[in-house]
Amino acid sequence: MEPIPVSYSKMKQTKLVLPPDTNHLDTIFGGKVLAFIDEIAALTAMKHSNAAVVTASIDSVDFLSSAKVGDALTLEAFVTRTGRTSMEVYVKVYADDLLRRHKELTTESFLTMVAVDQDGNPTQVPEIIPETEEEKRLYDTALARKEHRKNRSSLR
Ligand SMILES: CC(C)(COP(=O)(O)OP(=O)(O)OC[C@H]1O[C@@H](n2cnc3c(N)ncnc32)[C@H](O)[C@@H]1OP(=O)(O)O)[C@@H](O)C(=O)NCCC(=O)NCCS
């Protein structure tokens, strides 16, 4: 399988934060942000692998600040590194107050997605080619995160 550059499957999505998605402080529910993160990570991994994917783990989620009603929520995702059948995906979420022209990073997350065939069995994925400084940094540190993930689970 030919390795594929990160830029090929990199994704960006913008959503409007609406009242049903928020708590009594008018800020977005963490679970709602997680659903958006899972969705863009799946799309990114599907594009890279050209296969159906499942979420094997949401490895980390850091909520750094909150987004409020009326903010534009922008998600950016890319594959940092691949295993034989798994892909680590990094997602950043920005809240953009368009009226005040103020944008900040609200959330960052690492997920592991696994490509599967029609029977749900893991299937091989192409390797990734990092290009930018950020992509190279996350590619270089991915194996340490994978090791940490394995040690964390009580099942392995
Ligand atoms: C993820 C899944 C396909 C792995 O299947 P499996 O039979 O354990 O397959 P393997 O042991 O061969 O592992 C396949 C890959 O998944 C990775 N993997 C398996 N479980 C994992 C976990 N909990 N976290 C991170 N990676 C995991 C393995 O490291 C391996 O990666 P590699 O091929 O790059 O080395 C299977 O556990 C599954 O279908 N889980 C449910 C997924 C799901 O429904 N997600 C939505 C939840 S709401």
What residues does each domain of the chain span? 4-153
Residues with CB under 6 A from ligand 1: 54-57, 83-86, 112, 114, 116, 120, 122, 149
- Mean of pLDDT over the chain: 96
Calpha distance 132→71 (Å, rounded): 28
- Exposure b/e, 80-100, CB count within 10 A at least 16 = b: bbbbebbbbbbbbbbbbeeee
What confidence tier does 155 reach under pLDDT thresholds 50, 70, 90?
A: low
Task: Please report the pLDDT score of residue 156 as a whole number.
Answer: 56
pLDDT at 62 over 80: yes
What confidence tier does 152 reach under pLDDT thresholds 50, 70, 90?
A: confident
Q: What is the mean pLDDT of residues 122-131?
A: 98
Q: What is the mean pLDDT of residues 28-32?
A: 97
**Overall pTM surpassing 0.85 (yes/no):** yes
Gap from CA of 110 to ligand 1 centroid (Å): 15
Q: Which of 38, 79, 86 to mutate to test the pocket of ligand 1 (most atoms within 8 A of CB)?
A: 86
What confidence tier does 54 reach under pLDDT thresholds 50, 70, 90?
A: very high
Residue 53 falls in which region: left (phi positive, over 0), alpha (psi -120 to 50) or beta: beta
What is the fold of 4-153? Thiol Ester Dehydrase; Chain A (3.10.129)
Gap from CA of 51 to ligand 1 centroid (Å): 15
Q: What is the mean pLDDT of residues 102-119?
A: 98
